[in-house]
Amino acid sequence: MKRVQHPYDILLDSFARMSIPRDLLICELWLIGALLVIYLPYLNESFLRILFGVSLVLFIPGYTLIATLYPAARDLDGLERLALSFGLSIALIPLTGLALNYTPWGIRLDPIVTSLSLLTVVLCLAAQYRRGRLPPDERFSLSFNILRQGVMHEFFPKEESSRTSRILSVVLFIAIIAAVTTTVYVIVVPRDGEKFTEFFILGENQKAEDYPTSLLVGTNSSLFIGISNHEYRTINYTVEPYFLTMISDDKTNTTTIGSMTPLRKFTMSIPHNQTVIQSYTFSPATTKFNRVEFLLFNDTIPDEHLTGTERINQSYRNLYLWVTVRSLK
């Protein structure tokens, strides 16, 4: 009769008495290396970032999941684990991105790296626990020599085989190499998508509400100005705020600019795929103003003599708030 192991004994066998399996240890060390080359200066600009990053995305999550699902050596051989690891990784990554898309963090570098790291660590621990439940002679153990022999036997068998089988093996081998190479190339050299810049203003609590629309002469009011760069290059943005006096013509149902008073402008250098939100404070000097205009310029700024509607039309993006200015008296 087979003795039923107590969960405490299984934990001891998995994490105290049993050393970390070689394949899981490699995955954990690879994860640490990937984190170093992603965030350390100089390393994050080298080819190592591509090498570790692509492996972390295309292989490690799938392999650790396979190790968790199939802890026994008889479940799958090394070549089958290797092939399935790529397929499961390609399936896991979009699901992870989809889940992040519905979180406050979104699909950005830090949330993606954190999610993949947690997923890898949890799966490694789960795989080690499941192997600890098995007798030592039944656990899967990575052997590079056996793996190499399996690959050679699968694609280049020594025994006699038909000409068609040999050709198919060679074609399959070339197809696998081509698929992996193409995937790596698409990741490393992505095509530029649509180029655009997001320009937005937020209220006092950095939300799209509670904008300062009721102003007092000589009293500071504040809001937040945000810029998101999706231009695939670093852009030097210049923000030019203005107080405007807009005059309405009821007969023609049009508005014209009566006066345009510049406020403090500022410049920000923003790398691609980065967002900067900066607070901005302004104070009206007279009650004649009824609009606050925010003009955004990229690398090209028109001459200062260009004013009014023409300057607004020359801006890359523009936003405005209708305001009411009252006097303290």
Please count the structural domains in the chain.
2
Residue 180 inside a domain? The answer is: no
Mean pLDDT of 124-149: 78
Residue 272 inside a domain? The answer is: yes
Q: Based on the fold, state whether residues 230 and 294 are members of the same structural domain.
A: yes
**Predicted confidence (pLDDT) at residue 295 exceeds the cutoff of 90:** yes
Place of tokens 């523009």: 318
What pLDDT is stored for residue 2 in this prediction?
A: 47
Q: Based on the fold, state whether residues 124 and 14 are members of the same structural domain.
A: yes
The whole-angstrom separation of Cα 81 and Cα 127 is 14
Q: Based on the fold, state whether residues 201 and 252 are members of the same structural domain.
A: yes
Mean pLDDT of 168-174: 71
Mean pLDDT of 123-136: 86
Residue 164 inside a domain? The answer is: no
CB-CB neighbours of 280 under 10 Å: 16
Write down which residue in 125, 155, 185 finishes a domain.
155
Place of tokens 């990053």: 53
Mean pLDDT of 111-126: 91
What pLDDT is stored for residue 267 in this prediction?
A: 94
* C-beta separation of 127 from 24 below 8 A: yes
Split at pLDDT 50, 70, 90, the class of 102 is confident
Q: Which residue has the higher pLDDT, 145 or 65?
A: 65
Exposure pattern of 230-261 as b/e (b: 16+ CB <10 Å)? Answer: ebeeebebbbbbbbbbbeeeeeeeeeebeebe
Q: Based on the fold, state whether residues 36 and 143 are members of the same structural domain.
A: yes
Q: Based on the fold, state whether residues 228 and 101 are members of the same structural domain.
A: no
Residue 307 inside a domain? The answer is: yes
* C-beta separation of 263 from 235 below 8 A: no
DSSP 157-171: -SS---HHHHHHHHH
Q: Based on the fold, state whether residues 309 and 251 are members of the same structural domain.
A: yes
The partner residues of 229 in beta bridges, in order of sequence, read 197
DSSP state of 20: P
Q: Based on the fold, state whether residues 223 and 145 are members of the same structural domain.
A: no
Q: Which residue has the higher pLDDT, 17 or 284?
A: 284
Q: Based on the fold, state whether residues 206 and 115 are members of the same structural domain.
A: no
Q: Based on the fold, state whether residues 128 and 213 are members of the same structural domain.
A: no
**Predicted confidence (pLDDT) at residue 148 exceeds the cutoff of 70:** no
What pLDDT is stored for residue 317 in this prediction?
A: 93
What pLDDT is stored for residue 48 in this prediction?
A: 85
Residues in Cβ contact with 256 at an 8 Å cutoff, skipping those fewer than 6 apart: 246, 247, 249, 309
Q: Based on the fold, state whether residues 143 and 216 are members of the same structural domain.
A: no
Q: Based on the fold, state whether residues 232 and 148 are members of the same structural domain.
A: no
What pLDDT is stored for residue 141 in this prediction?
A: 78
Residue 139 inside a domain? The answer is: yes
CATH code assigned at 315: 2.60.40.10
Residue 167 inside a domain? The answer is: no
Residues in Cβ contact with 261 at an 8 Å cutoff, skipping those fewer than 6 apart: 242, 243, 244, 285, 289
* C-beta separation of 287 from 178 below 8 A: no
**Predicted confidence (pLDDT) at residue 289 exceeds the cutoff of 50:** yes
What pLDDT is stored for residue 311 in this prediction?
A: 92
Mean pLDDT of 42-57: 83
Quote the radius of gyration of the chain (alpha carbons, Å).
Answer: 31
Residue 181 inside a domain? The answer is: no
Write down which residue in 138, 155, 172 finishes a domain.
155
Residue 321 inside a domain? The answer is: yes
Question: Helices 47-58 and 163-188 meet at what angle, rounded to 10?
Answer: 120
Domain extent for 93:
7-155
What pLDDT is stored for residue 107 in this prediction?
A: 78
Q: Based on the fold, state whether residues 118 and 219 are members of the same structural domain.
A: no
What pLDDT is stored for residue 1 in this prediction?
A: 43
